[in-house]
Structure 1
Amino acid sequence: MISQSSRSGYTLPVFACASAIAALSHIQNKNIKNIVSVDLIYPSKVVNIPIEQVARIGLNSALAITRSDPGDNLDLTRNTPVWVLVELVEQTQANSCKQILIKGGEGIGIQINNEGKCAIYHYAKKILHKNLKKYLKPTESIIVTIILPEGKQLAKRTSNESFGVVEGLSLLGTTGISQPLTAANQLTAYQEELTAKAKQFNSLVFCLGENGLELARKQGINPERIIKTANWLGPLLVTAGVQKLASLLLFGYHGKLIKLAGGIFHTHHYLADGRLEILVAHGAKIGCPNTKLQQLLKSSTTENGLKLLRDCDEQTGSNWTEKIYQSIAQTIDQRSQVYIRKHTDVNVRVGSVLFGRDRSIIVSSNHGKLIMSNEICK
Structure 2
Amino acid sequence: MTARKGYTLPVFACASAIAALRHLHQEIVEDTVTLDLIEPHQIVDIPIEQVAKLNHHSALAITRSDPGDNLDLTKNTPIWAFVEITENTERITLKGGEGIGIQINHEGKAAIYSYAQKLLLENLKPLLKPDESITVTIILPEGKNLATRTSNAAFGVVEGLSLLGTRGISEPLSAPEQLDAYQIELSQKARAFETLVFCVGENGLDLAQQMGINPSQLIKTANWVGPMLATAALSGVREILLFGYHGKLIKLAGGIFHTHHHLADGRLEILTAHCARVGLPTPILQKVFDSATTEIALNVLRETENHWVELVYNAIASTIDLRSQDYIYKHTQKKVNVGSILFERNRSILVQSRTGSLIKEKVCQQTDDK
**How high is the TM-score relative to the length of structure 2?**
0.72
Kept in 2: contact 1:322–1:363 (CA 8 A):
no
Matched, 1:355 2:352: no
Instruction: After TM superposition, give the deviation of residue 325 of structure 1 in Å.
Output: 2.0
Gaps of 5+ in 2: none
Report 1:38-49 matches (<5 A): 38-40=34-36, 42=38, 43-49=40-46
Matched, 1:324 2:334: no
Q: Deviations over 1:315-363 (max 9, x none)?
A: xxxx32233224433443454355445544x264664423223543514
Instruction: After TM superposition, give the deviation of residue 108 of structure 1 in Å.
Output: 1.3
Gaps of 5+ in 1: none
Q: What is the aligned partner in structure 2 of residue 267 from structure 1? A: 259
Q: What is the aligned partner in structure 2 of residue 67 from structure 1? A: 64
Kept in 2: contact 1:232–1:267 (CA 8 A):
yes
Q: Distance in 2 between matches of 1:236 and 1:153?
A: 34
Q: What is the aligned partner in structure 1 of residue 198 from structure 2? A: 207
Report 1:158-173 matches (<5 A): 158=150, 160-173=152-165
Q: Deviations over 1:279-304 (max 9, x none)?
A: 23433454434543454456565345
Matched, 1:280 2:272: yes
Q: Distance in 1 between matches of 2:122 and 2:326?
A: 52
Instruction: After TM superposition, give the deviation of residue 78 of structure 1 in Å.
Output: 2.9
Q: Distance in 1 between matches of 2:81 and 2:329?
A: 52
The verdict on how the C-alpha distance between 1:74 and 1:263 changes in structure 2, with shifts beyond 3 A counting, is farther
**2:137 is matched by which residue type in structure 1?**
T
Instruction: After TM superposition, give the deviation of residue 135 of structure 1 in Å.
Output: 6.4
**2:230 is matched by which residue type in structure 1?**
V
Q: Distance in 1 between matches of 2:310 and 2:126?
A: 55
SS at match of 1:49: strand
Instruction: After TM superposition, give the deviation of residue 246 of structure 1 in Å.
Output: 7.1
Q: What is the aligned partner in structure 2 of residue 302 from structure 1? A: 294
**1:38 is matched by which residue type in structure 2?**
T
Q: What is the aligned partner in structure 1 of residue 139 from structure 2? A: 147
Q: Distance in 2 between matches of 1:21 and 1:196?
A: 35
The verdict on how the C-alpha distance between 1:261 and 1:170 changes in structure 2, with shifts beyond 3 A counting, is same
Q: Distance in 1 between matches of 2:190 and 2:128?
A: 53
Aligned length: 359
The verdict on how the C-alpha distance between 1:227 and 1:21 changes in structure 2, with shifts beyond 3 A counting, is closer
Quick one: which of 30, 37, 44 aligns to 2:33? 37
Instruction: After TM superposition, give the deviation of residue 147 of structure 1 in Å.
Output: 1.6
Matched, 1:178 2:174: no
Q: What is the aligned partner in structure 1 of residue 112 from structure 2? A: 120
Whichever of the two has the greater Rg, that structure is 1
Q: What is the aligned partner in structure 1 of residue 82 from structure 2? A: 85
Q: Distance in 2 between matches of 1:245 and 1:129?
A: 37
SS at match of 2:305: helix
SS at match of 1:77: coil
Q: What is the aligned partner in structure 1 of residue 225 from structure 2? A: 233
Q: Distance in 1 between matches of 2:9 and 2:329?
A: 41
Computed over aligned residues only, the root mean square deviation of the Cα atoms, in angstroms, reads 4.5
Kept in 2: contact 1:21–1:36 (CA 8 A):
no
**1:329 is matched by which residue type in structure 2?**
A
Q: Deviations over 1:106-156 (max 9, x none)?
A: 221223343322122344344445555676666976543212233344445
Q: Distance in 2 between matches of 1:125 and 1:283?
A: 41
**How high is the TM-score relative to the length of structure 1?**
0.71
Instruction: After TM superposition, give the deviation of residue 41 of structure 1 in Å.
Output: 5.6
The verdict on how the C-alpha distance between 1:13 and 1:199 changes in structure 2, with shifts beyond 3 A counting, is closer
Q: Distance in 1 between matches of 2:237 and 2:122?
A: 47
